[in-house]
Amino acid sequence: MNAPAYQGIKDFILTRIHSGEWGEGDQVPSENELAREFKVARMTVNRALRELTAEQVLTRVQGAGTFVARPKYESTLMAIRSISDEIAARGHRHCASVLSLGATVADAALAEEMQLNSGSPIFHSRVLHFENDEPVQFEERWVNPAAAPEYALQDFTQITPNQYLVRVAPLSRVEYRIEAALPEPDTRAHLTMADSEPCLVLHRRTWTRALVASIANLWHPGSRYRFTGHF
């Protein structure tokens, strides 16, 4: 089923913003210009611009036009912290081993969560993080290429996936859940855990503007890790 016309206009605008062609404060084409280019009614263009404005991607100034909005980082960055920063804050040493890094395609469930079509190409990485040479986090992550097109080219022994994504795909929203779960055998082996030990699992989905940038499952040995925070 084809996407509605207004979604095509939204994707057109988002692609230019994510590519850097349009930056903060740049004026986007008028409703009339977009209606002519896409051969649609102004009502269709108006819906696309209204939705992007509600999503804080654009800002509309009466009598002046529509502009790329300033990103809203503050509330999201409070909820996102790299494992390497956590370890450094404890005065310990972080290192990482990249178990796999490459491209795959999104199955139906993953595509729905990433707001993509089933079968869409995505990046996939598996990274094991160590604190003073002891494994403390198994990270499995799926990344939207539209948000970070060079993700698979990075050296994640030198920078964490989280640090890289925060830099190239500024965060606008995050949702997460934390639960206890028994890991699969390969995850248990990577984390050198006893057979009966559960993991603390952080499932996190992040957005850059209106685009789902990544989904991550972060597995931590229950006996070696705890989540802390303050407001």
Rounded average pLDDT per 10-residue block, the chain, 231 residues: 81 84 89 94 94 86 86 43 85 95 96 94 98 95 96 96 91 87 95 92 90 95 71 43
Using the 3D structure, point to which of 16, 47, 68 is the last residue of a domain. 68
152 falls within a domain? yes
Query: Among residues 185, 13, 217, which one has the least CA distance to residue 113?
Result: 217
Q: Are residues 46 and 91 in the same domain?
A: no
Using the 3D structure, point to which of 68, 88, 114 is the last residue of a domain. 68
- Order of strands, sheet of 134-143, starting from the edge strand that comes earlier in the sequence: 94-105, 121-131, 134-143, 211-221, 199-208, 173-181
Using the 3D structure, point to which of 14, 41, 68 is the last residue of a domain. 68
Q: Are residues 117 and 217 in the same domain?
A: yes
Q: Are residues 111 and 177 in the same domain?
A: yes
Domain with 115 in it: 74-221
216 falls within a domain? yes
Q: Are residues 46 and 99 in the same domain?
A: no
Domains: count for the chain: 2
Q: Are residues 26 and 81 in the same domain?
A: no
Exposure class string for 80-113: b at 16+ Cβ within 10 A, else e: bebbbebbeeeeeebebeeeebeeeebeeebbee
- pLDDT score, position 223: 81
160 falls within a domain? yes
Q: Report the distance separating Cα 199 and Cα 220, nearest Å.
A: 5
Q: Report the distance separating Cα 193 and Cα 135, nearest Å.
A: 9
Q: Are residues 20 and 128 in the same domain?
A: no
Q: Are residues 50 and 142 in the same domain?
A: no
- pLDDT score, position 228: 61
- pLDDT score, position 77: 35
191 falls within a domain? yes
- pLDDT score, position 75: 32
227 falls within a domain? no
135 falls within a domain? yes
Our measurement of the distance from residue 145's CA atom to the centroid of its chain's CA atoms, rounded to an integer in Å, reads 10
Per-residue tokens: 166: 């925060």
Q: Report the distance separating Cα 222 and Cα 208, nearest Å.
A: 31
226 falls within a domain? no
Q: Are residues 114 and 169 in the same domain?
A: yes
Helix axes 5-18, 31-38, angle to 10 degrees: 110
Alpha carbons within 13 angstroms on the beta-carbon side of residue 67 total 13
Q: Are residues 136 and 30 in the same domain?
A: no
Q: Helix (H, G, I), strand (E, B), or coil: what is residue 187?
A: helix
Task: Answer left, alpha or beta for residue 118, where phi above 0 means left and psi between -120 and 50 means alpha.
Answer: beta
Q: Are residues 101 and 212 in the same domain?
A: yes
- pLDDT score, position 33: 95
Q: Are residues 17 and 37 in the same domain?
A: yes
Q: Which pTM does this prediction carry?
A: 0.67
Q: Are residues 55 and 113 in the same domain?
A: no
